[in-house]
């Protein structure tokens, strides 16, 4: 389903939950609404579903305005955060519900339920009640139930929030595969950036009711258009005085500009580790944390404190060690503007030709 939203606004009392949101979604895409809790993601989802009224703006499905269409008539599948399975019905009953209220014939319902049970890997659990299932199974029932009436759009509200970390990973890729296979347009809400990056074709970053940026995960990572997006995606530290960092002296031309530096922009090591020693500054290791698959190193560089990763294969650093620090790039921003700046000293100042 092709979706177009323009000038969307929603207030709950005095609280502006959604502010002037515009976007367009192509058929078949998997979209992640990402943002901090209470930022308005769920409100947008619920307005698309028709569970919340629209104060201002338009929602168009296939170019047709659906603002006043009740949820029953929108043809949308919705997976709720806590699944909201019908407790007094079996797995089969839950999946069949949407078909029964649509007055499908008995044989068609039976066939469709069997198909979905098969698809979601719930064979053998048809007669169980929701409280007899594990979290992951319940999630799959909710998914099957939402898909049963063949919706054109699938909305998922924090679909993995109530599942423990290990199974969450499996379910994510399962969901991704499933949606790919069915080719159904889907929008899911999450506050977990890993989840959005891993699953979504396109991410929409929502903060304080506004759509901050829309794009593929890579685009958003590479080219954040606002300081909020830059700090929300990936890990980072903010440095107030950028011009003091080696290689970023030119930043002094823009007073009041701060830098956001990601761990992967920073390299630490012994002088022999670097080809261009002139681009590195001396720093001191403050802390090292073991992260399971790598070291997280906190390093002090003048007044600034930076964070970086270090491979487990390399020599182990200890707090107090003196190291060379190379900053590849920084994301600079001030009140009006934001841009990415490369380390000027990395371009060899005196190329030697032999």
Partner 1 sequence: MSSMLQGRWWSWGFRSAVMLYFMVLIIFPILGIYGQSLSSGWSDFASNITEPLAWKAVLLTIRMALIATVVNILVGTMSAWVLIRYRFPGRRLLNSLVDLPFALPTAVAGLMILLLLGPRSFVGQLSEKLGFTILFHQPAIIIAMVFVTFPFVIRAVQPLLEEMDAAEEEAAYMLGATKAATFWRVILPNMLPGILSGAMLAFSRALAEFGAVVLVAGNIPGKTLIASVYIFGEIESDNTVGATAVSVLLLTFSFLILWTVNYVQMRRKGG
Closest contact distance (angstroms) between CB of 68 and partner 1 is 15
Closest contact distance (angstroms) between CB of 42 and partner 1 is 11
Choose which of 51, 114, 161, 167 interacts with partner 1 (CB under 8 A).
51
DSSP one-letter string for 123-177? TT-TT--GGGS-HHHHHHHHHHHHHTT--SEEEEESTTTTS-HHHHHHHHHHHHH
Q: Which of residues 55-74 bind partner 1 (CB under 8 A)?
A: 70-73
Segment lying near partner 1 (by CB under 8 A), choices 7-15, 145-153, 206-214, 265-273? 145-153
For residue 317, what are its two tokens?
């650093």
Name the residue nearer to partner 1 (CB basis): 83 or 232. 83
Which residue's entry shows tokens 């830098």? 259
The yes or no reply on residue 53 touching partner 1 (CB under 8 A) is no
For residue 271, what are its two tokens?
């002088």
Closest contact distance (angstroms) between CB of 98 and partner 1 is 3
How would you label 38-48 residue by residue, b for 16+ Cβ within 10 Å and e otherwise? ebbbbbbbbbb
The yes or no reply on residue 81 touching partner 1 (CB under 8 A) is yes
Using left for φ > 0, alpha for ψ between -120 and 50, and beta otherwise, residue 209 falls in: left
**CA nearest neighbour of 144 among 187, 105, 200, 97:** 97
Please state, in angstroms and rounded to a whole number, the distance separating the CA atoms of residues 274 and 236.
Answer: 23
The yes or no reply on residue 84 touching partner 1 (CB under 8 A) is yes
The yes or no reply on residue 104 touching partner 1 (CB under 8 A) is no
The size of the chain, in residues, is: 354
Say whether 208 sits in a helix, a strand or coil: coil
The yes or no reply on residue 39 touching partner 1 (CB under 8 A) is no
Name the residue nearer to partner 1 (CB basis): 77 or 263. 77
Closest contact distance (angstroms) between CB of 102 and partner 1 is 5
Name the residue nearer to partner 1 (CB basis): 103 or 181. 103
Name the residue nearer to partner 1 (CB basis): 97 or 274. 97
Name the residue nearer to partner 1 (CB basis): 82 or 334. 82
The yes or no reply on residue 98 touching partner 1 (CB under 8 A) is yes
Segment lying near partner 1 (by CB under 8 A), choices 25-33, 57-65, 140-148, 280-288? 140-148
Choose which of 23, 129, 174, 295 interacts with partner 1 (CB under 8 A).
129
The yes or no reply on residue 80 touching partner 1 (CB under 8 A) is yes
The yes or no reply on residue 88 touching partner 1 (CB under 8 A) is yes
Name the residue nearer to partner 1 (CB basis): 85 or 242. 85
The yes or no reply on residue 23 touching partner 1 (CB under 8 A) is no
Closest contact distance (angstroms) between CB of 74 and partner 1 is 8
Rg value, the chain, Cα? 25
204: β partners: 33, 214
Give residue 231's Cα distance to chain centre. Answer: 13
**CA nearest neighbour of 298 among 329, 325, 330:** 325
Name the residue nearer to partner 1 (CB basis): 51 or 238. 51
Say whether 333 sits in a helix, a strand or coil: strand
How many other CB atoms are found less than 10 A from the CB of residue 329? 18
Please state, in angstroms and rounded to a whole number, the distance separating the CA atoms of residues 113 and 93.
Answer: 9
Please state, in angstroms and rounded to a whole number, the distance separating the CA atoms of residues 176 and 182.
Answer: 10
Binding residues for partner 1 (CB under 8 A): 49, 51, 70-73, 76-78, 80-82, 84-88, 97-98, 101-102, 129, 145-146, 148-149
């Amino acid at each position: 389903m092709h979706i177009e939203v323009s000038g969307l606004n929603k207030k709950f009392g005095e609280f502006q939950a959604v502010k002037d949101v515009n976007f367009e979604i192509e058929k078949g895409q998997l979209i992640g609404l990402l943002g901090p809790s209470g930022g308005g993601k769920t409100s947008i989802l619920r307005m698309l579903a028709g569970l919340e009224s629209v104060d201002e703006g338009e929602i168009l499905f296939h170019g047709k305005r659906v603002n006043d269409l009740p949820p029953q008539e929108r043809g949308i599948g919705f997976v709720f955060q806590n699944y909201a399975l019908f407790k007094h019905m079996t797995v089969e009953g839950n999946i069949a519900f949407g078909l029964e209220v649509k007055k499908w014939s008995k044989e068609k319902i039976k066939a469709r339920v069997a198909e979905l049970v098969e698809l979601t890997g719930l064979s053998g659990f048809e007669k169980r009640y929701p409280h007899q299932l594990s979290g992951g199974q319940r999630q799959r029932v909710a998914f099957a139930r939402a898909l049963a009436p063949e919706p054109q759009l699938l909305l998922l509200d924090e679909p993995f929030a109530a599942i423990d970390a290990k199974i969450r990973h499996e379910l994510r890729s399962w969901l991704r595969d499933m949606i790919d296979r069915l080719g159904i347009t889907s929008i899911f809400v999450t506050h977990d950036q890993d989840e959005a990056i891993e699953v979504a074709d396109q991410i929409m970053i929502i903060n304080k009711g506004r759509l901050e940026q829309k794009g593929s995960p890579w685009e958003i990572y590479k080219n954040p258009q606002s300081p909020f997006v830059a700090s929300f995606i990936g890990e980072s530290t903010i440095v107030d005085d950028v011009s003091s960092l080696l290689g970023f002296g030119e930043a002094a031309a823009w007073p009041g500009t701060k830098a956001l530096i990601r761990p992967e922009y920073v390299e630490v090591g012994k002088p022999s580790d670097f080809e261009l020693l002139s681009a590195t500054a001396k720093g001191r290791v403050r802390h090292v944390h073991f992260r399971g698959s790598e070291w997280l190193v906190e390093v002090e560089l003048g007044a600034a404190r930076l964070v970086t990763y270090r491979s487990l294969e390399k020599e182990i650093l200890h707090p107090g060690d003196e190291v060379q620090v190379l900053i590849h790039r920084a994301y600079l921003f001030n009140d009006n503007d934001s841009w990415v700046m490369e380390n000027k000293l990395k371009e060899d100042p005196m190329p030697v030709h032999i």
